[in-house]
Amino acid sequence: MRSIFLFVLLSIANINVVSGQQTAKEALQKLAFLTGNWKGTSTSFSDKGEKKVTVEEKVDFLMDGEMLVLNVKSPWIKLHTIIVYSEKSGKYYYYPFTKDGNKKGYEGKYNEGKFLVYFNETTRLTFTKTAKGEFHEFGEKRLENGKWEKYFEDILSPNLTQIKK
């Protein structure tokens, strides 16, 4: 009798683990619109005007769909970012890494085709796709009047060449 009880208990525990993984995969699948090899223009906005550079970004799933990895390369930045979904908290987490390492993870939210990452109450990133199917990322700062103002914007098209590591 004990062995039957133990078998049933272990089976239930295994089902809960598998279903948790599926939920994380399902949550990350909402971000599948980001995947691909992308290349285009990054524009920064400041009081001194606009500056533009070419940027390449490769986005792909790892760990059987339980992690999304973004690799960004431009004259301004080289960035390796990991996005995961925690079933326990029910939240996305965005972990950016530069040559100097990682300072911390940031909470992300998926809402109506957009993935938003808040660094704090006044700075955020938005990832989406344009009507033409382009990869669209922009950073914004909240002004004192409560409105959001872009400080950079990337619009990228599919890139047929691989990003060099």
**pLDDT tens column, 120-134:** 999 999 999 999 999
11 versus 63: the higher-pLDDT residue is 63
Surface-to-core class of residue 62, CB atoms within 10 Å of its CB (0-12 exposed, 13-18 middle, 19+ buried): exposed
The whole-model pTM stands at: 0.81
| pLDDT tens-digit series, residues 16-30 | 444 445 488 999 999
pLDDT of residue 19: 47
Distances (CA, A) of 111 to 23, 31, 44, 117, 127: 17, 10, 25, 11, 11
% the chain with pLDDT above 70: 84
> Which uninterrupted H or E stretch holds 53?
strand 49-62
Q: Is the pLDDT of residue 118 over 90?
A: yes
Best CATH choice for the domain 2-158 from the list 2.40.128.20, 3.90.550.10, 3.40.50.10190, 3.30.43.10 = 2.40.128.20
Under the banding of pLDDT at 50, 70 and 90, the label for residue 160 is confident
Q: Is the pLDDT of residue 142 over 70?
A: yes
DSSP-derived 3-state class of residue 8: helix
Q: What are phi and psi of 147, to 5 degrees?
A: -80, 155
